[in-house]
């Protein structure tokens, strides 16, 4: 790679660079200012994310690749980047009141959210295993720290170390898988791996299995889902919201890219594996969510179940079907909106160092805070997949794509699971609307309300009129298939 | 008996399994982190062995990247270990058993 | 000659790894890890990866292990680790050896079947030297190299965020 090409590539990864620079600015400015003024770092973070968002839009129009094919800057990556940046943006707004009331370190918090987002963006466009692995680690290490961010809470520190140990375990498995694939094919670029693929070579099979294991861990799908509830429960609630949408979407992005571009040679094998994983993930997540007594834990199990629904879409894109791919992408977008909203309500109801976790903490909010109760109701309806919300349309598309790809049983399992899930989501509303209040609710917090309003309107409006969010997903899926010339 | 690349690969697989086993059975967090290092190190050995077999140096470069990743994970992990120790006065945490799942 | 040395260092690395996992004392575990990492570095030299071998000793067996030793000494966790998780060690060791035996058997078959390794007879002149690795690193994999700097920034930031005391 000569200098002019290097220069061109560097310009092309503008969104990533914008975020990394913002993170560094936040990090450097943080120790220079004192006390109350640190709150202004919030604005730097938002501006940086907004710049990243705008620069990223360019990629929808003309996808290219940079760094001699190491990054594919196509519509697929742009769509996922949209999910990450909007998620990080709204999570930042939701976090402002929360981290101030919990007295957490402001500068490091925002910087880590931004760095983690930049790692996800690298991940969504990586077509080469070295960049992929580093993007994976940038994202993961930031999130490990964020999970253990509340130093006054031993549960938070424990969540951090648990996530680090188990995440490190899964990265080591992923790394070994990459080593085997490298040994078998002699390259770490996905397109060359696909070209050299030889299904009769056991190294390929073993490598694919190990890499898949690493991704399934990050997605939080069966059989590697057990870490999810503990870590989601222990981590600060805004961090849980951020990682349940961001990390999951990033893991799906890279799962799709690696499987479809690199390992399409043994498509039938991993498709069957994912079919089973998806069915078990949905069922186990939903059944375990029913018996939970903590809302945070219930939402953690529900996020396992939602990973299962999204995997239905992955299975349905078997053979490079555009409908299946775009349904996964749309599902992750919808999940970002509604799940961030649900965790945002919990963050909104947390006060003075105590998080809103149990059902008692939300009992009777309808009497005191009717608007919050309405927002909570809309998010729960959406998570349960009840029309007219974005959750319904996303689920509908995933199951439709499964039916069209003739995975009838998977669609039936998914629909049955959605019916079961309605029970525990609506139970939250029973507490919120029909019980007496048992705790004092915090006062009005203007910043969080802005984010919650955006999320509520988004959940409803995109449910009624999908606008062009769905077209964008189809276009992005199309550009992804174009990248590696699938049918 | 001539040493072939397969010998190195089997050795790396053995080290990987020992490391994974250590993560699973040990409760002491520092030793769990050391076992993670063993796993990463075994992947490095596989990379370098493949690099020799294939005659390209990508594997060696990957090993340098893994080294950085290992350092970053260990630094963060040990910071968390110290944080937990100041809270609980012990590192007696069974990471896997604490999952009530 | 090479095969004798290979078996010596391979045995040393496996012994070190077993001691890391099965020794009660974290300090002994840390020193055993140094043994494993050092033996691996020697194996890297057999694999003609001289630069990487040097890095392995400098960074891994040097810097990272100092971090481990420091934490072990700082927390002085020696006594309590003797109390817990030292039960049934022989049984656990037996289980591990069984797994290793079965897995090693299949791994050796798998690697043999996979492809005829050692096929790159002609290695480039600069194979494994600073020059050769540097050229690949800075020409083909410049982006990952730059990304490691972001990763290190994240790690530093994370350590500061977790470990810094005092007012927020």
Q: What is the pLDDT of residue A253?
A: 92
pLDDT digits (tens, 9 = 90+) for A276-335: 999 999 999 999 998 888 888 899 999 999 999 999 999 988 877 888 888 899 999 999
Question: What's the gap in Å between the CA of C152 and the closest CA on chain B?
Answer: 6
Chain centroid to Cα A365, Å, comes to 28
Mean pLDDT of all residues belonging to chain B: 84
Of the candidates A134, A158, A179, which has its C-beta nearest B84's C-beta? A158
Of C85, A116, A164, residue with least CA distance to B81: A164
Of the candidates B25, B79, B92, which has its C-beta nearest C159's C-beta? B79
Domain coverage including residue B52 = 5-88
Segment A240-269 shows an average pLDDT of 88
Of the candidates B4, B22, B27, which has its C-beta nearest C20's C-beta? B22
Residue with tokens 């006065």: B89
Overall pTM surpassing 0.80 (yes/no): yes
Domain count, chain A: 1
Mean pLDDT of all residues belonging to chain A: 87
Q: What is the pLDDT of residue B69?
A: 93
Residue B23 above 60 pLDDT? yes
Q: What is the pLDDT of residue A306?
A: 92
Question: What's the gap in Å between the CA of B87 and the closest CA on chain A?
Answer: 6
Please report the number of interchain residue pairs, chain A to chain B, with beta-carbon separation below 8 angstroms.
Answer: 122
Interatomic CA distance for residues A225 and A148, integer angstroms: 19
B97 is a domain residue? no
pLDDT digits (tens, 9 = 90+) for A7-39: 888 888 888 999 999 999 998 998 888 878 888
Contact B67 C55 (CB under 8 A): yes
Interatomic CA distance for residues C98 and B87, integer angstroms: 39
Contact A142 C158 (CB under 8 A): yes
Q: What is the pLDDT of residue A487?
A: 38
Instruction: Tell whether A179 is within 8 A of chain C (Cβ).
Output: no
Q: What is the pLDDT of residue C35?
A: 92
Contact C49 B48 (CB under 8 A): yes
Domain C2-126 falls in which CATH fold?
1.20.120
Between vectors from CA A254 to CA A251 and to CA A255, what angle results, nearest 5°? 80
Interatomic CA distance for residues C20 and C26, integer angstroms: 8
Domain coverage including residue A120 = 3-483
Residue A208 above 80 pLDDT? yes
DSSP for C8-49, please give it: HHHHHHHHHHHHHHH-S-HHHHHHHHHHHHHHHHHHHHHTT-
| B92 beta partners | B28
Question: What's the gap in Å between the CA of B67 and the closest CA on chain A?
Answer: 11
pLDDT digits (tens, 9 = 90+) for B45-66: 999 999 888 888 899 999 999 9
Q: What is the pLDDT of residue A23?
A: 92
Interatomic CA distance for residues A237 and A448, integer angstroms: 13
B77 is a domain residue? yes
Q: What is the pLDDT of residue C117?
A: 53
Q: What is the pLDDT of residue B1?
A: 64
Chain C contact set for A141 (CB, 8 A): 151, 154-155, 158
Q: What is the pLDDT of residue A4?
A: 84
Q: What is the pLDDT of residue C165?
A: 63
Position with higher pLDDT, C114 vs A422: A422
pLDDT digits (tens, 9 = 90+) for A153-175: 888 888 888 899 999 999 999 99
Percent with pLDDT over 90 in chain A? 30
Of the candidates B36, B59, B88, which has its C-beta nearest A182's C-beta? B59
Residue B98 above 90 pLDDT? no
- Do the beta carbons of residue B28 and residue B92 sit within 8 Å? yes
Q: What is the pLDDT of residue A469?
A: 76
Interatomic CA distance for residues C37 and A482, integer angstroms: 45
Which of A217-226, B32-41, C111-120 has the weakest average pLDDT? C111-120
Domain count, chain B: 1
Give the pLDDT of chain C (168 residues) as one tens digit per residue: 778 899 999 999 999 999 988 888 888 888 999 999 999 999 999 888 899 999 999 988 888 888 888 888 888 765 555 555 556 667 777 777 777 777 777 776 766 666 555 465 677 778 888 888 888 888 888 899 999 999 999 999 999 888 876 544
Segment A143-147 shows an average pLDDT of 92
Contact A141 B72 (CB under 8 A): yes
Of A306, A168, A143, A103, residue with least CA distance to A234: A143
Percent with pLDDT over 90 in chain B? 39
Q: What is the pLDDT of residue B40?
A: 93
Segment A354-362 shows an average pLDDT of 79
Segment A68-73 shows an average pLDDT of 84
Question: What's the gap in Å between the CA of A449 and the closest CA on chain B?
Answer: 33
- Ramachandran sector of residue A435 (left: φ over 0; alpha: ψ -120 to 50; beta: rest): beta
Return the partners of chain C (3 or more C-beta pairs < 8 Å).
A, B
Does ipTM top 0.90?
Answer: yes
Handedness of CA A41, A42, A46, A47 (dihedral sign): negative
Contact B36 A176 (CB under 8 A): no
Segment A333-341 shows an average pLDDT of 91
Contact A172 B40 (CB under 8 A): yes
Question: Which domain CATH number covers B30?
Answer: 1.10.287.3510
Of the candidates A6, A23, A135, which has its C-beta nearest C142's C-beta? A6
Residue of A nearest to C148 (CA): A134
């Amino acid at each position: 790679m000569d200098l002019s090409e290097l220069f061109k590539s560097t310009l092309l990864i503008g969104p990533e660079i914008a975020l990394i620079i913002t993170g560094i600015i936040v990090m450097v400015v943080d120790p220079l200012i004192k006390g109350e003024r640190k709150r202004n770092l919030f604005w730097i973070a938002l501006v940086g994310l907004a710049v990243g968002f705008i620069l990223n839009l360019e990629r929808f129009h003309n996808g290219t690749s940079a760094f001699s094919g190491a990054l594919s800057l196509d519509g697929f990556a742009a769509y996922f980047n949209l999910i990450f940046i909007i998620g990080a943006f709204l999570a930042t707004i939701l976090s402002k009141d929360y981290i101030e009331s919990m007295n957490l370190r402001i500068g490091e918090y925002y910087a880590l959210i931004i760095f983690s987002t930049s790692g996800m963006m690298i991940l969504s466009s990586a077509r080469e295993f070295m960049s992929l692995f580093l993007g994976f680690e940038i994202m993961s290490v930031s999130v490990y720290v964020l999970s253990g961010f509340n130093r006054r809470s031993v549960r938070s520190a424990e969540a951090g170390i648990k996530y680090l140990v188990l995440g490190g375990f899964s990265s080591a498995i992923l790394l070994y898988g990459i080593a085997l694939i490298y040994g078998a094919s002699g390259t770490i670029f996905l397109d060359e791996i696909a070209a050299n693929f030889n299904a009769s070579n056991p190294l390929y099979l073993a490598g694919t299995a190990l890499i898949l294991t690493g991704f399934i861990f990050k997605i939080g799908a069966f059989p590697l889902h057990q870490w999810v509830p503990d870590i989601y429960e222990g981590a600060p609630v805004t961090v849980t919201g951020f990682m349940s949408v961001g990390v999951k979407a990033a893991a799906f992005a890279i799962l799709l890219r690696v499987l479809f571009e690199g390992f399409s040679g043994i498509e039938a094998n991993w498709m069957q594996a994912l079919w089973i994983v998806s069915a078990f993930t949905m069922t186990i997540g939903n059944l375990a969510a029913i018996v939970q007594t903590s809302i945070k834990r219930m939402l953690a199990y529900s996020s396992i179940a939602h990973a299962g629904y999204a995997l239905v879409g992955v299975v349905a894109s078997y053979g490079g079907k555009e409908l299946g791919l775009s349904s996964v992408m749309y599902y992750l977008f919808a999940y970002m909106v509604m799940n961030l909203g649900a965790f945002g309500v919990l963050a909104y109801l947390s006060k003075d160092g105590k998080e809103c976790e149990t059902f008692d903490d939300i009992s009777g909010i309808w009497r005191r805070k009717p608007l919050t109760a309405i927002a909570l109701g809309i998010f729960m309806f959406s998570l349960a997949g009840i029309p007219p919300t974005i959750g319904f349309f996303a689920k509908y598309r995933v199951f439709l794509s499964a039916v069209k790809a003739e995975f009838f049983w998977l669609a039936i399992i998914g629909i049955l699971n959605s019916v079961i899930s309605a029970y525990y989501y609506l139970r939250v509303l029973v507490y919120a609307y029909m019980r007496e209040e048992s705790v004092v609710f915090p006062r009005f917090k203007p910043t969080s309300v802005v984010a919650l309003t955006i999320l509520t309107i988004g959940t409803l409006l995109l449910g009624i009129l999908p606008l062009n969010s769905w077209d964008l997903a189809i276009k992005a899926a199309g550009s992804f298939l174009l990248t590696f010339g699938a049918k | 008996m001539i040493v072939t690349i397969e010998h190195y690969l089997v050795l790396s697989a053995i080290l990987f399994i020992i490391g994974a086993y250590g993560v699973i059975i040990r409760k002491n967090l520092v030793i769990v982190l050391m076992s993670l290092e063993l796993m990463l190190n075994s992947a490095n050995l596989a990379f370098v062995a493949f690099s020799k077999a294939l005659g390209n140096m990508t594997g060696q470069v990957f090993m340098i990247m893994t080294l950085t990743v290992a350092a970053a994970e260990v630094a963060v992990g040990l910071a968390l270990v110290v944080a937990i120790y100041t809270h609980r006065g012990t590192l007696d945490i069974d990471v896997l058993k604490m999952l009530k799942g | 000659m090479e095969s004798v040395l290979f078996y010596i260092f391979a045995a040393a690395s496996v012994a070190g790894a077993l001691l890391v996992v099965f020794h009660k004392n974290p300090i002994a575990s840390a020193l055993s890890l140094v043994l494993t990492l050092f033996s691996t570095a020697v194996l890297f030299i057999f694999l003609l990866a001289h630069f990487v071998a040097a890095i392995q000793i400098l960074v891994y067996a040097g810097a990272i292990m100092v971090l481990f030793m420091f934490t072990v000494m700082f927390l002085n966790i020696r006594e309590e680790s003797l109390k817990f998780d030292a039960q049934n060690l022989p049984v656990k060791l037996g289980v591990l050896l069984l797994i290793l035996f079965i897995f090693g058997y299949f791994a050796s078959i798998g690697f043999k079947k996979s492809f005829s390794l050692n096929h790159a007879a002609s290695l480039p002149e600069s194979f494994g030297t600073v020059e050769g690795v540097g050229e690949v690193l800075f020409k083909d994999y410049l982006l990952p190299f730059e990304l490691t700097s972001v990763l290190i920034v994240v790690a530093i930031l994370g350590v500061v965020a977790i470990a810094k005391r005092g007012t927020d």
